[in-house]
Every structure is written in C-alpha cells, then in structure tokens.
A and B are shown apart, each in its own frame.
Chain A
Amino acid sequence: MIEAKKVINELEKRYTRLVGTSATNLCTHCGWCIESCHIYKATGNPEHSPVAKAEKVRKVLKRKHDWLSRVFPKWTGAADLSEKDIDDWIEAAFKNCTLCERCVVNCPMAVETPQILGAARGVLTSMGKNPEILTQLTDSAIAREENLKMMEGFFRKQIQKLEKQVQDKLGDPKASIPISEEADILYVPLSGVHTMIPAATIFNAANASWSMSLFEASNYGLFIADIPKAKKIVERILKEAERVKAKTLVVTECGHAYGVLKWEAPKWFNKKFDFEVKSLLEVMDDYVSQGLLQIDPSKNPEPVTYHDPCNMGRKGGIFEEPRRVIQAASMDYREMTPNRVENFCCGGGAGLVACSDWTEERLLYGSTKVDQIRDIKVSKVVTACDNCLHQIQELGEKNDLGITVSNVSQYLVNALVIPERGKIEKDKILQA
C-alpha cells in the first residue's frame, strides 16, 4: 500500500513555478504535441503521447491545486492518487519519456511536460520505485569520492598506459595526461577511454594547459531526480576545479553531464562558479577556428552526419560548434532532417540506455532516428553524448544501417595531421 500523503508531500516539494504553470489549465489537450514525440511515433499508443503522460501526474496535481478539480474532479480529469498511478508514473516518467523536450518546442502553449515527469521521477525515487540500476550508478559515482585514496593509485596507473597511446598517436614522447594538477583547464571525462584518449590527443596537439579530473562527469542523480545526490556528485568536481585553480572546466562529450555542470549545478548551488564551464565541443571548435590543429579532411572521406544530443542542443544550446568541427574534418557532411532544436531524440536518453529491462522498447523508440539516418545514406554517425552513441550503435546493428558511430573528438583526431617528430624539433628550434 502506498502512503498517499507521503507521495503528495514529495510531489509538493517539486511543485516549482514551471511545474505549477504546466500543471494548471495551461494545457488545452489540443494534441499538437502528440506527433512530436518519438515514442508516440514509434508505438502509436495514445498512452505514449506527451500530453497523456503528463496527464497521469497532472491529474493528481490538479486535484490538489486546481479549484474546479477540488470540487468536481471527474469534470477536469483530476483524481486522487491511487496505487495504479504509481505504476503508471514509472511507465510514463522512466520508461516512456526521455525528457527530450521536443514536445515543449512543439507545444503552442509551451507546456513543460518534462518538468512534470521529472517531478514524478523524483517522487518515485524517494519511494524507491525508480529503476535500480540508475540508483546504483548514482551511488557508485558517490562511492568513488569516498574511496578516492584506494582508487586513485589504480586510476593513475591506467592513465599512464593511455598516455603511451597518446604519445604514439602524436609521435611526441612528451605528450602527457596530467591528472588533477594545476592548469588552466580541468577536463572531466567519462569512465570510458574513448572520452580520454581523443581529448588528451587534442589538448596535447593544441599545446593546452590542462589536466584531467580524477572523477567522471556522468551524473545519474539527474536521471533519478535525486538532487541531493546529484549535488554531491557535482561537488567533488567543483572542489577539484577550485583546488587546481582551473579557469575553465571542460566537460566531455556527455549530454546530461554538460547540462548538469553548465546549467543545473549553478542553480542547485545558487551561485555562479569562479570558473567557466564549457563543453569539449566548444573547446574543439575554438582550437579549429584558431588554427591550433592541423586537419586533413581527406582522412574522413565517408559520408557523415551529426546527431544532436537533446541535452547538448535543445536543452543546452550547443548546435553549431560540433558541426563546424565535423565539417572541418570531413569530406562529405550531410545533415539529418529535422535537426538542431527540432532533432529527434535517439530513444535512449534520460537513463533509458542503462535500463536493460527496457531494451526492446528503447530500440523501438529509436525507430524515427533509424529512418532519419537511413534517409541520408551515411556510413558514419557522429554524436556528442555517450548514451546517444550506445543507442545509435545498437540501432545500427539491429536495423542493418551499415554505420559506425563515434564521438566528435574521435572523429576529429582521426583527421589530425601529425607533423613528423623531426619537423616538430625543427620548428621548436626555429621558434627559439
């Protein structure tokens, strides 16, 4: 049995102005959002439309806050919270919505459905009803700081091995991966080496003052809407950035991590940080436009496209930077339609890619993305988010798209022109 009062209290804690505005009579049930949702498009199930999903939570909020719904709930579709509602919320908020905000962009009223479903995620988490894997991933990130001493030695050894790969790639034995040292840039990767080696190669090639964080950028606290835990995960990075006197915190190619560190964390901590927060995409764009990197686009001759991760684009404002980088490093860049603010979610966002119980559904939710990729006949898809990367890889395999998928930094590094070591030494002598 659920404790309805407790659930309502949890919901009330998340009743912000955005949620409040969207949970009132703002939504006219016009249905304009319906076809904008990749999940509805994939299933055609009326329950999967953004408005229907929001309504599952909104009906409870209306019962409490809407005057007419308090007296005549059936008239407005409002209802008291029931046991079934909780199951419906799990489906609506965790399984059948990737919080991509495409519905917000297409709603004539700007109803913030993801805010409502995000609030439901938080309530479900407080009840222990969220997907367990997302909590485990959140807790493991927190545990990393708690066991830092034990973990640090092992991490440094691993990075030494990677450093060798960077040196080989650049043909420069002095190329390095400094860890948590004083530098202008503190780069925060993910746990995968594909977010470390290419970035390290680029920083070294651009001769940047940088070091790599001891921590990973990923923050599953956001996906379960557990803000205290999400803050804890962020806090360790903020402390490290202060300790190494970083001027810029550079977040790897991870959509939600960028969103958290760039936009959400300053709100959670109610302050502007002393350092700038940038995505690796912006930094690469700067290096390319400043001519700090030598690029040979002929090294990437295959037709390529860019998938806008929702957290980077529609929620983060990064659209052109990755395009400029890819176009500089490519012979045949093609644009998916629609793109940028209207781009379709890959279907794996908001933690869905980690929930193995829902793999079948997730791959179905990516069907619009499959059609988009197929339409432009590319053999490579580049993206800037690990969740998107895994999802598109799986979509490609399942649907025989014949594509390879990489992140932007990997793609750029593939086109880097590495001067011969003798020439580097000669240049240095000439410069001296």
Chain B
Amino acid sequence: MISEKFTHFVEYELQAIAIAWMIILYTIKAIQLSRLPMPWEKETKKGNSTKGVMISYASIFMPWAVESSRDHFWRWLGFALYHVGCLVAIVNTFTFTFTPELMTPTVKIVFSILIAPAILIGFLKFIRRLIRPEIRYISTPDDYFSLLSLQLFFFTGIMALLTNTPFWRSSYYIVTAAFLFYVPFSKISHYVYFFFARFLTGKRYGWRGIIPQNTTK
C-alpha cells in the first residue's frame, strides 16, 4: 500500500529536487562552455546571421530542406513522433500535478495516444541500434540505457494516465526523478546542447551566406 505522504513526496519534493539538480548542472555546463574561446567572424558578412540561426533551428522541422531527412522521410517522421511523445510525457509530469482539473479523461487519452508511438519507435530504434553494423559500431552502453530508460518513462507515463492509481503515479514520478538526475550526464542532454550548437553553426553559415544561400543579384 502506497501512502499518500509518499505519493505527495515523489510528486512534489522529489521533482523539485531533481529539477533543481538538473538546472544547477546545466548552468555549470553552460558556464564552462561559454568560457571556452570562440573566434567570431571578423570579415564583413556576406549573408544574414540572424536568418542563418533561425533557419538552423527551423531545419529540424523542415524534412524537405535537409537531405538526411528528405531521403529518409519515415526515419524523420519516427524522429518527430518520438520527440512529440517525449514532450508530451514531460508536459504531463507538470499538468498531472499542478493542473489536475485539466486532465479530463479525453485529455488523458489524447496524451496517451501521443506518447504511445514513442514506445514503438523507441523499440525500433533499439533494434536498429542492435542490427545495423554501422550503428552498433558507434553505440555505447549509455545509448542503450538512455533508450530503455525513456521507454520506462513513456510506459509509466501512459499507465499513470490511464489508471491514475497511486502505484503507477508514484512509479511515473520516481522514474521521472531518476531520469532527471541522470539526464545531465547522458547523451539525452542533446536537447540542451542542440540550442548552443545550432546557434553557433547557424550564425557562421548565415554570416557567410551559406544558409540561406546567397542568390542576390
């Protein structure tokens, strides 16, 4: 039997500690990165660095714009659905706790439907990592573990949504907290570094007129 006190602890205090932990670690990492030397462009710009940054960020949503998405549309769609599932599962950790009035049965079903494909895609990603030699070659234990831990996060999320029992709610929040403690150390952190990397590359490409391609005249 799970006590109400325990459920409350994992939903509130534990989450607050885990989020604070994550924020502190990311702040340290951001400071470390910002202290590294960064030789910015000095030559007069040929293009538009602001546009370059915007396109750099937006390109992830434009499968037609990048060959690796365009030529592998189904892979891109899987990637998109997987990340939608991630986003919904994360949003759910907040809405479940802080806005229970919004969590009507319909919303719960919609959230579950959005998260569910991520489980299937996660499974396919896992299989791909195992059977494709070029992917297996670059895979580390962290890659497999990160995938499996996300599977657990999605699964407990759906179970919590559909059953709303103290057991599944607590499981979901314990998995979430464990996840938050681990994420700053793992490759799952790419969602934070993504913004740094795409900014730097987009700025340079924009400045030099590489994106958008300089077709003036």
Binding site for B on A (CB under 8 A): 15-22, 24-36, 40, 46-47, 49, 51-52, 55, 66-68, 74-77, 104-112, 262-263, 266-268, 270-273, 276-277, 285, 289, 313-320, 324, 338, 340-342
Binds A, one of B5-13, B29-37, B104-112: B29-37
Q: How many residues of chain B are within 8 Å of chain A by beta carbon? A: 62
Q: Is B114 an interface residue (CB 8 A)?
A: no
Output the least CB separation between B134 and chain A (Å).
4
Output the least CB separation between A373 and chain B (Å).
19
For B194, list chain A residues within 8 Å (CB). Answer: 26, 109-110
Output the least CB separation between B212 and chain A (Å).
10
Among A25, A52, A108, A341, the residue within 8 A (CB) of B137 is A52
For A21, list chain B residues within 8 Å (CB). Answer: 33, 193, 196-197, 200
Q: Is B215 an interface residue (CB 8 A)?
A: yes
Residue ID in chain A nearest B198 by CB atoms: A110
Residues A267 and B209 in contact, CB atoms below 8 Å apart: no
Residues A28 and B187 in contact, CB atoms below 8 Å apart: yes
Closest 4 CB pairs of A and B: A317-B209, A266-B42, A77-B140, A68-B185
Q: Is B99 an interface residue (CB 8 A)?
A: no
Output the least CB separation between A87 and chain B (Å).
18
Residue ID in chain A nearest B42 by CB atoms: A266
Q: Is B208 an interface residue (CB 8 A)?
A: yes
How far is B66's CA from A315's CA once the two chains are assembled, in angstroms?
16
How far is B56's CA from A114's CA once the two chains are assembled, in angstroms?
18
A-B contact pairs, 27 of them (CB 8 A): A22-B197, A24-B189, A26-B196, A29-B138, A29-B140, A32-B69, A33-B68, A46-B134, A49-B134, A49-B138, A51-B138, A52-B137, A75-B140, A105-B66, A106-B66, A106-B68, A108-B79, A110-B201, A112-B197, A267-B39, A270-B39, A272-B44, A314-B210, A317-B213, A319-B213, A319-B215, A342-B67
For B143, list chain A residues within 8 Å (CB). Answer: 28-29
How far is B41's CA from A68's CA once the two chains are assembled, in angstroms?
33
For B42, list chain A residues within 8 Å (CB). Answer: 266-267, 270-272
Most buried by B among A104, A263, A277: A263
For A338, list chain B residues within 8 Å (CB). Answer: 67
Residue ID in chain A nearest B43 by CB atoms: A266
Residues A46 and B43 in contact, CB atoms below 8 Å apart: no
How far is B196's CA from A110's CA once the two chains are assembled, in angstroms?
10
Residue ID in chain B nearest A24 by CB atoms: B193
Q: Is B157 an interface residue (CB 8 A)?
A: no
How far is B44's CA from A111's CA once the two chains are assembled, in angstroms?
25
Residue ID in chain A nearest B184 by CB atoms: A67
For A26, list chain B residues within 8 Å (CB). Answer: 189-190, 193-194, 196-197
- Of residues 152 through 194 on chain B, the ones whose CB sits less than 8 Å from some CB of chain A are 184-190, 193-194
Residues B33 and A317 in contact, CB atoms below 8 Å apart: no
For B56, list chain A residues within 8 Å (CB). Answer: 110
Residue ID in chain B nearest A106 by CB atoms: B68
Chain B contact surface mostly: helix
Residue ID in chain B nearest A45 by CB atoms: B134
Residue ID in chain A nearest B135 by CB atoms: A31
4 other A-B residue contacts (CB within 8 Å) besides A110-B200, A338-B67: A17-B36, A106-B66, A263-B208, A320-B214
Residue ID in chain A nearest B183 by CB atoms: A25
Residues B135 and A29 in contact, CB atoms below 8 Å apart: yes
How far is B43's CA from A289's CA once the two chains are assembled, in angstroms?
25
Most buried by A among B29, B46, B47, B185: B185
Residues B139 and A29 in contact, CB atoms below 8 Å apart: yes
Residues B34 and A17 in contact, CB atoms below 8 Å apart: yes
For B100, list chain A residues within 8 Å (CB). Answer: none
Residues B187 and A277 in contact, CB atoms below 8 Å apart: no
Residues B190 and A262 in contact, CB atoms below 8 Å apart: no
For A320, list chain B residues within 8 Å (CB). Answer: 213-215, 217
For A46, list chain B residues within 8 Å (CB). Answer: 133-134, 136-138
Known: A25-B186, A35-B68, A289-B217. A108 touches B60 (CB 8 A): yes
Output the least CB separation between A113 and chain B (Å).
11
For B139, list chain A residues within 8 Å (CB). Answer: 29
Residue ID in chain B nearest A320 by CB atoms: B215
Among A47, A263, A342, the residue within 8 A (CB) of B43 is A263
Residue ID in chain B nearest A33 by CB atoms: B68
For B118, list chain A residues within 8 Å (CB). Answer: none
For B136, list chain A residues within 8 Å (CB). Answer: 46
Output the least CB separation between A106 and chain B (Å).
4
For B186, list chain A residues within 8 Å (CB). Answer: 25, 68, 76
Residues A18 and B193 in contact, CB atoms below 8 Å apart: no
Output the least CB separation between A424 and chain B (Å).
29
- Of residues 18 through 57 on chain B, the ones whose CB sits less than 8 Å from some CB of chain A are 25, 29, 32-34, 36-44, 46-47, 56
For A266, list chain B residues within 8 Å (CB). Answer: 41-43
For A107, list chain B residues within 8 Å (CB). Answer: 68
Residue ID in chain B nearest A262 by CB atoms: B43
Residues A317 and B67 in contact, CB atoms below 8 Å apart: no
Residues A267 and B40 in contact, CB atoms below 8 Å apart: yes
Residue ID in chain A nearest B37 by CB atoms: A16
Residues B137 and A277 in contact, CB atoms below 8 Å apart: no
Among B37, B202, B215, the residue within 8 A (CB) of A17 is B37
Residues A17 and B67 in contact, CB atoms below 8 Å apart: no
Residues A18 and B200 in contact, CB atoms below 8 Å apart: yes
Among A32, A68, A276, the residue within 8 A (CB) of B44 is A276
Most buried by A among B66, B208, B210: B210
Output the least CB separation between A247 and chain B (Å).
14
Output the least CB separation between B131 and chain A (Å).
12
For B47, list chain A residues within 8 Å (CB). Answer: 317
